């Protein structure tokens, strides 16, 4: 998570959406950089609403902070998790995907209680608006890097050059048609939210 106090902007860090690269590029401009623990670095909107927003409003006497987040196309997002968990350092870990096909990974993800290798959360849940009206102010598609960079450069009055950071291994992944149909049916909220995000 990055907090730009003067610009009244909080950049929420949705896992596997390239935010590590943005953190590296923009950290020098940020008022607060939350790197650890992961539960705060990757604080979803509900955690921001519960802890950070009240802090800004009560301690800092401001209620005009805006939030920004990035969402990745759902199958691409799952593919990034799958590839990430095949990196060499994952050898021997219970949540590694070396011995699991991409179809099996996605089937596991769709279970009510997913196995460790497929327990990766939900972008829709991460970004879900709160009952008190707190919602992500600026939501971008991961695939719309040009729009995201243009927004940040204008808002932060800077030029952005992104490093490559936390990149999953290259690998061609294909879901079988029946698994993809099942995924789109069972996780419709993920696809609906992504489809609602305009390309800037």
How far is CA 141 from each of CA 4, 62, 81, 138, 193, rounded to the nearest angstrom? 21, 28, 17, 10, 10
pLDDT at 166 over 70: no
pLDDT digits (tens, 9 = 90+) for 49-67: 999 999 888 877 777 899 9
Two tokens, residue 144: 């719309």
Residue 189 has a pLDDT of 98
Domain that holds residue 82: 2-196
pLDDT digits (tens, 9 = 90+) for 11-25: 999 999 999 999 999
Residue 93 has a pLDDT of 86
pTM flag (> 0.85): yes
pLDDT at 167 over 70: no
Counting the structural domains of the chain, the total is 1
Q: What is the CATH number of the domain that holds 30?
A: 3.40.50.300
């Amino acid at each position: 998570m990055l907090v730009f106090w003067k610009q009244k902007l909080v950049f929420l860090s949705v896992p596997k959406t390239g935010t590590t690269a943005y953190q590296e590029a923009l950290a020098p401009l940020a008022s607060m950089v939350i790197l650890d623990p992961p539960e705060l670095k990757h604080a979803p909107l509900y955690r921001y609403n519960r802890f950070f927003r009240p802090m800004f409003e009560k301690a800092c006497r401001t209620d005009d902070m805006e939030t920004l987040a990035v969402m990745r196309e759902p199958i691409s997002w799952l593919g990034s998790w799958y590839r990430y968990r095949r990196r060499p350092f994952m050898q021997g870990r219970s949540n590694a995907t070396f011995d699991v096909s991409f179809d099996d990974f996605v089937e596991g993800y769709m279970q009510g209680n997913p196995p460790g290798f497929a327990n990766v959360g939900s972008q829709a849940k991460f970004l879900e608006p709160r009952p008190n009206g707190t919602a992500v102010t600026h939501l971008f598609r991961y695939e719309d890097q040009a729009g995201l960079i243009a927004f940040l450069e204008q808002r932060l009055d800077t030029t952005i050059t992104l490093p490559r950071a936390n990149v999953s291994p290259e690998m061609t992944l294909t879901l079988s048609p029946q698994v993809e149909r099942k995924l789109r049916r069972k996780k419709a909220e993920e696809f609906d939210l992504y489809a609602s995000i305009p390309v800037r």
